[in-house]
Amino acid sequence: MTRGTIVITGASSGLGEEMARQFAALGYGLGLCARRLDRLTALRDELTAAHPGIQVRIAELDVTDDDAVQAVFEAFRAQFGTLDRVIVNAGTGDGAPLGTGGQAANRRTATTNFLGALSQSEHALAVFRAQHRGHLVLVSSFAALRGMRRSMTTYAASKAGVAALAEGLRAERIPGVDVSLICPGYIRSEMNAAAAERTRFMVDTEPGVTAMVRAIEARKSVAYVPRWPWAPLAVLMKRLPLPVVRRLT
């Protein structure tokens, strides 16, 4: 018997991959989806070998394809019988300063991070409303707190949209449904590997994701993780003048 079932999008690498490992160790059944099916297959084999008592299902998924999101979530619900938690994690960090010819990268980031999250939330909540319970987890970013410069502008804006989406859903108070917003600070992953060595406060993937998993398990409404230094920095970032923010980012 498993502790429940969790769907994780963007599970083929980075934070999603490590969340899958840690939730598998806790005894959850997992529905893992991402664009790279070969990496999901390897992860499934790893997890079922390490934890023979759990079920791991996988599906290829591009979260910008709304019909595919609906089909994959409904297939996972049919396979498991119920979905207890959906973690909206898939995202990208591509970007360029606006007006410099990087429109394609910026549109890709905005579409994946925000419209993809909207699609995942739509279809997860359809399942949760039908079964009268569930836990929706939206992964945003510390960068969502303020506008960011240059190649981070669109990324920060898209993650701010995810944060607003989570707050609106919490305000709705859907019966039986919890909504959590997880805002990671700088956690080492495939997406930020190029900047890892020059980024302050960067933590390794495993302890960073452990903080995320702890907050998700506690069903926190909003969590900045790891708590140190990101929770106190979040308080400051909301109040600092923009010229100071510019020097820090």
Instruction: Inform me whether the pLDDT recorded for 199 exceeds 60.
Output: no
Mean pLDDT of 141-155: 92
Burial class (CB in 10 A: 0-12, 13-18, 19+), 5: buried
pLDDT-derived band at 8, boundaries 50, 70, 90: very high
Task: Report the chain's mean pLDDT, rounded to a whole number.
Answer: 92
Arithmetic mean of pLDDT, 14-39: 97
> Dmax of the chain from CA atoms?
54
Domain count, the chain: 1
Higher-scoring residue by pLDDT: 188, 57: 57
Which tokens in the block code for residue 70?
């609906």
Are the C-beta atoms of 97 and 150 separated by less than 8 Å? yes
For residue 70, give the nearest of 23, 30, 33, 108 by alpha carbon: 33
**Torsional class of 173: left (φ above 0), alpha (ψ -120 to 50), beta (otherwise):** left
For the chain, how big is the Rg over CA atoms in Å?
17
pLDDT band at 119 (very low <50, low <70, confident <90, very high): very high
The question of whether 155 is a catalytic residue gets the answer: yes
- Spatial CB neighbours of 195, under 8 Å, sequence gap ≥ 6: none
Instruction: Provide the CATH number for the domain around residue 224.
Output: 3.40.50.720
At 236 the pLDDT is 79
Q: How far apart are CA 83 and CA 93, in angstroms?
A: 28
- The pLDDT value recorded for residue 194 is 54
pLDDT value at 200 more than 80: no
Domain holding 201, by residue range, is 5-248
The answer, yes or no, to whether residue 167 has pLDDT greater than 70, is yes
Torsion of the alpha carbons at 80, 83, 84 and 89, rounded to the nearest 10: 120
- pLDDT recorded at residue 196: 47
Catalytic residue among 28, 155, 186, 224: 155
Q: Taking a C-beta distance cutoff of 8 angstroms, is the pair 191, 14 a contact? A: yes
Q: What is the pLDDT of residues 67-112, one digit of tens each?
A: 999 999 999 999 999 999 999 999 999 999 999 999 999 999 999 9
Of 224, 182, 229, 153, which is closest to residue 16 (Cα–Cα)? 182
State residue 191's pLDDT score.
58
pLDDT band at 13 (very low <50, low <70, confident <90, very high): very high
What DSSP element (H or E) covers 242?
helix 242-248
